[in-house]
Structure 1
């Protein structure tokens, strides 16, 4: 009898990097489940949720675990940014960025931990090169992604031997992430961005490691990425 593929929960799995992770998981025989505000590709189960509402994010995670019958991995790919100087970005927007990018990461993982412990599963958090290098006009995004780096490193120490924890640090990718920005905050015409499928492949590499082997951190970016090192 064929065993079902690994169950993988992906936040933000309807677009961008999250959608690339879903695609890679399906191709690898996995069973992705998406938490997002928009539906993923047809045939992928999902829960509609505004991840800025962290209690709702926790409940959506618990529903996903119940529907999947367990959980082997969590990938927190949801993210947002609205660049601008601190005094120009509305407080509600600034705080929403931190909520979606950092607080929801912790909320989803917190709710998933019992199922992941049962499976000796894996967690992959998605930070950014701007979680390692701070730049102007990105105080919310840098605060959130620096927070993801610190959170993940502490979580890896906390869960060592029980659940695998990997921090993935992507550079700029060819997604719709930049589409709604002011022109001054969009990548220039000569910018070389990475294919999100390359980062998704790194995510799948991390979650496929055998028990006892941990991939702690991966930086994945175009060779000419200016925000790293």
Structure 2
């Protein structure tokens, strides 16, 4: 990553998000662990690799959690655990890097993406659900990454005005 950027990284956005829906006892352990590995540990791995460059540039990090990282629901234990983990990791990292690297936690609600593709009907948003457009959420990421030095946006909850998973 840094090689392609001539050794300079000013900002990182971690947007990993997969799920394996179902009750804890019904989701195979390897699927459950994969969700945590991708969503939480993948976030950590990307930031860990970019951190020396971000410290050099006084850069910024935006992690992507979810409204299900602050509000748990049934049949999403792996996803909720991983995204609660991203929230906790991001808050701790913000404290650790205060004054060196900015850290923002993005907490988006449901979006019109392929995230819901291929799910059983019971795990799909209802037809009347109003989800957020990815472009709207992307604007908030740019906003967080473009703050002046010394100004931090610690958390951003971005969802449709009728989001059912918030609060």
**TM-score normalised by the shorter chain: which range applies?**
over 0.9
Report the counterpart of residue 145 of structure 2 in structure 1: 207
| TM-score (structure 1 length as normaliser) | 0.72
Unaligned runs of 5+ in 1: 1-63
Q: Distance in 2 between matches of 1:74 and 1:99?
A: 19
The answer to whether the aligner puts 1:68 opposite 2:5 as a matched pair is yes
Superposed, 1:165-204 pairs within 5 Å as: 165-204=103-142
1:171 shift after superposition: 0.2
The Cα offsets for residues 16-55 of structure 1, whole Å up to 9 and x where unpaired, read as xxxxxxxxxxxxxxxxxxxxxxxxxxxxxxxxxxxxxxxx
Taking the aligned partners of 2:134 and 2:28, their CA distance within structure 1 comes to 30
**In structure 1, distance between residues paired with 2:126 and 2:154:** 32
> How far apart, in 2, do the equivalents of 1:67 and 1:189 lie?
42
Matches within 5 A, 1:53-132: 64-69=1-6, 70-132=8-70
Aligned to 1:22: none
Question: 2:106 is paired with a residue of what secondary structure?
Answer: strand
Please give the per-residue CA displacement for 1:57-85, whole angstroms capped at 9, x wherever unaligned.
Answer: xxxxxxx1011111011100121012101
Cα offset, 1:180, TM superposition = 1.5
Higher RCO (CA-CA < 8 Å; seq separation 6+): 2
Give how far 1:93 is off. Answer: 0.6
Paired residues, number: 166
RMSD, matched Cα: 0.6
**Structure 1 moving runs of 4+ over 6 Å:** none
Residues 133-184 of structure 1 show CA distances to partners (whole Å, capped at 9, x for unaligned) of 0100000000000000000000000000000000000000001100111111
**SS at the partner of 1:65?**
coil
Cα contact 1:82–1:181 (8 A) shared by 2: no
Gap regions ≥5 residues in structure 2: none
Residue 110 of structure 2: SS of its match in structure 1? coil
